């Protein structure tokens, strides 16, 4: 009986401690184009979901990418295809804006981005979440129980991977890497402003010199040091 009481008190203490520390935990993964963030997120989710905290309890972690698109569209009462251009870091032309204004209600790109931020924030506050891209670092940086990782690698190495994956020339792959990296940076800057130190990651990892398994273990160790797990 005494053991059960102690276990119960420890659990309640853990819950109160979590509440006092703020919402989370959340891990964000930003990346340069050609770095396998989704594979890292998937394997990281599996590993973290098996980890026990200091009270011997496991937590079901989940990683988010396309779910952010789906939930944002749901909140805007639109089909996901109607806001997909924002997730591809594209802008609608003035002509598209003009015709959409006559067909049905259509939110501005600004409202779509703000809805994305709202959805990401809700996911992060629920905790045990891994958010891939979407400006996650700028939106969740102020959450105490958060960890922000950036995956990068030399341009030539990334271009080779993209060239092999999409069967294009190295020059085409290189141009694609540069273009998408620029668009992702602009998307992130929308939420926090250009040139701010606020969106610097906690840890930058070189995907060229480390395996997926090594990257996952490094992130787990960092999460442990920051008391996220």
What DSSP string describes 118-131?
Answer: HHHHHHHHH-SEEE
Mean pLDDT, range 108-114, rounded to an integer: 85
Please determine, for residue 195, whether its predicted confidence score (pLDDT) is greater than 60.
no
The average confidence (pLDDT) of the chain is 84
The CA-CA-CA angle for residues 22, 25, 26, to 5°, reads: 120
**Of the given ranges (48-52, 107-111, 126-130), which has the lowest mean pLDDT?**
107-111
Model confidence at 102: pLDDT above 70: no
**Which residue from 153, 154, 112, 106 is spatially nearest to 135, judged by alpha carbons?**
112
Among residues 184, 188, 135, the alpha carbon closest in space to that of 34 is found at 184
CATH code linked to domain 28-225: 3.40.50.300
pTM summary value: 0.82
**Using the 8-state DSSP alphabet, how is residue 144 labeled?**
S
Between 56-65, 69-78, 92-101, 148-157, the lowest mean confidence (pLDDT) is in 92-101
Domain extent listing, the chain: 28-225
Which range (32-36, 42-46, 53-57, 218-222) has the least confidence? Answer: 53-57
Length of the chain: 229
Instruction: Tell which residue, 183, 186, 190, has the closest CA to residue 112.
Output: 190
């Amino acid at each position: 009986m005494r053991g059960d009481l102690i276990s119960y008190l420890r659990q309640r203490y853990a819950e109160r401690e979590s509440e006092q520390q703020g919402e989370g935990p959340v891990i964000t993964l930003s990346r340069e184009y050609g770095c396998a963030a989704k594979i890292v997120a998937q394997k990281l989710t599996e590993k973290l979901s098996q980890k026990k905290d200091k009270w011997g309890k496991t937590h079901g972690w989940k990683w988010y990418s396309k779910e952010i698109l789906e939930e944002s569209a749901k909140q805007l009462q639109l089909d996901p295809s109607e806001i997909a251009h924002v997730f591809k870091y594209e802008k609608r032309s003035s002509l598209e804006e003009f015709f959409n204004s006559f067909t049905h209600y259509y939110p501005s790109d600004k409202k779509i981005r703000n809805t994305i931020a709202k959805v990401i924030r809700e996911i992060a506050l629920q905790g045990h979440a891994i958010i891939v891209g979407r400006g996650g670092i700028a939106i969740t940086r102020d959450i105490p129980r958060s960890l922000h990782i950036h995956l990068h690698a030399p341009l030539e190495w990334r271009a080779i991977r993209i060239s092999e994956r999409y069967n294009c020339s190295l020059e085409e792959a290189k141009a694609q890497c540069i273009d998408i990296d620029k668009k992702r940076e602009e998307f992130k800057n929308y939420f926090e402003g250009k040139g701010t130190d606020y969106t610097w990651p906690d840890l930058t990892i070189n995907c060229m010199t480390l395996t997926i398994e090594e990257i996952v273990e490094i992130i787990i160790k960092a999460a442990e040091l920051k008391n996220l797990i």
